[in-house]
Amino acid sequence: MTNLTDLGVAAIRNGVANGDFTAREVAEAFNANVAAAKELNAFIVTTPEKALEAADAVDADRAAGKELGSMAGVPIGMKDLFATKGVQTTAASHILEGFTPEYESTVSSNLWAAGAGMLGKLNLDQFAMGSSNETSYFGNVTSPWRRPDGANTPMSPGGSSGGSSTAVSARLAPAATGTDTGGSIRQPAAFTGITGIKPTYGRCSRWGVVAFASSLDQAGPMAHDVRDCAIMLGAMAGFDPKDATSLDLPVPDWEAALNSDLKGKKVGIPREYRMDGTDPEILQSWDNGIAWLKDAGAEVVDISLPHTKYALPAYYIIAPAEASSNLARYDGVRYGLRDLPEGAGLQDMYAATRAEGFGDEVKRRILIGTYVLSAGFYDAYYTQAQKIRTLVAQDFENAFKECDVILAPTTPTASFGLGEKSADPLGMYLNDVFAVPASLAGLPAMSVPCGVNSEGLPLGLQIVGKAFDEQGVMNAGLAIEERAGFTAKPEKWW
């Protein structure tokens, strides 16, 4: 029998439906891989019983001749930002350690309804703030990839969805949920040689997802290939009246419409993305991608996104500002951690709880956000950043008059060693330089693996599309996937 843990979403769904193997066999295989990979620290909580319970329900439905859902028999990892009823949800922060929701997020509910099961809750950067998965209270996540230099330096899986990227890349799960505020699906996907898509803002409900920056946060799938992402996004997406920003639009059948023939399509190449400091091997992979899309029938056009250089600084004003507001709710009064020094009053309790519960990066962003929202600086910083955001969105609108999708690198470098950048927050923030513009504009964007560098580490290419055109993004991604022929897997060392 094929090694079940090498299979992706489509292969598992089809195999279960055809009776090639049972959903329970799949769940047991992935549960075993999860249990054997504690060294990677991808999971905060494992739920093997949930995976088996969902698998048994799928097998029973098949035996009874019932129609199976689009994710039937597929066990997944759930980023620990999604509320899961009866299962601890922490956002990888001490302040929420032990918090067990009494409700289920809309995205996870949709996935369970489609037949998916839960292998566990995945580690992440604390409150989704980070690009390397080094800010989690529950410890760093380690990428399954290694440099072949013999030093065995633990590598970053990217962030904030580093537990998700490691779980999929290391075959601990065939797919996982991620969230993307400024690149947190795409950058980890690129670092670990998997595929991930951030859909149009509002395509997936934010209800029941721990908030970082509400105008930017968007859930999406992370999986081995484009087809698997199309299937999983179809299960995750949909209108939700409980989320005021949810798109009231039908969910297309993205899988059925996948087509890598790009004849008649135009691909924009933004000249501003050829930035100083970008790894030459990244630029070479970009040139390869351009050639592949030409081979798929697309016409390549030069475009300009003139406000690109302002996008990152604007993001690091807007996102912390929203975070400082969102995270005000963690005060030790209603749920989560409470630090109550003897004889302390209410203000002392607030201060002690937040000091104890939040990590350094979260505190840094709360401080920045509170500063830019303060009376004397609101207009100088926050208002200006919102104006930049509008200009960035207008840049994309203008560019899409000349092209259908945009091709760019996902990241300026391949993965780096844990600890190599953590002492330099600004250097870490620059990891998001290619990902942030699409987030500010709320556009769908996907990272697809396109090869490995001279150190054997994965590289990713990013496709950005028009609002609501996930299909165009996935079709271009499929064209790259077919031509890149990426089959590299990390050598098992854990």
Q: In what order do the strands lie in the sheet with 445-452?
A: 43-46, 117-122, 75-79, 175-180, 218-223, 195-198, 445-452, 458-465, 405-409, 266-270, 299-303
Closest by alpha carbon to 215, among 319, 368, 370? 319
C-beta neighbour count of 95 within 10 angstroms? 26
Closest by alpha carbon to 79, among 162, 138, 140, 202? 162
DSSP state for residue 457 in the 8-state scheme: -
> For each of the chain's 494 residues, which pLDDT tens digit applies?
579 999 999 999 999 999 999 999 999 999 999 999 999 999 999 999 999 999 999 999 999 999 999 999 999 999 999 999 999 999 999 999 999 999 999 999 999 999 999 999 999 999 999 999 999 999 999 999 999 888 899 999 999 999 999 999 999 999 999 999 999 999 999 999 999 999 999 999 999 999 999 999 999 999 999 999 999 999 999 999 999 999 999 999 999 999 999 999 999 999 999 998 889 999 999 999 999 999 999 999 999 999 999 999 999 999 999 999 999 999 999 889 999 888 889 999 999 999 999 999 999 999 999 999 999 999 999 999 999 999 999 999 999 999 999 999 999 999 999 999 988 888 899 899 999 999 999 999 999 999 999 999 999 999 999 999 999 999 999 999 999 999 999 999 99
Which domains can be identified in the chain, with CATH numbers?
A: 4-245 (3.90.1300.10)
Q: Residue 347 in contact with residue 326, Cβ under 8 Å? A: no
Alpha-carbon span 431 to 374, nearest angstrom = 28
pLDDT digits (tens, 9 = 90+) for 204-263: 999 999 999 999 999 999 999 999 999 999 999 999 999 999 999 999 999 999 999 999
**Could you give phi then psi for residue 309, rounded to 5 degrees?**
-65, -15
Using CA atoms, how far residue 115 sits from 55, 121, 207, 333, 392, in Å, is 8, 18, 20, 37, 39
The type of residue at 391 is: L
Where in the sequence numbering do the catalytic residues fall?
79, 160, 184
**Could you give phi then psi for residue 459, rounded to 5 degrees?**
-125, 150
DSSP 409-425: ES-SS---BTTSSTT-H
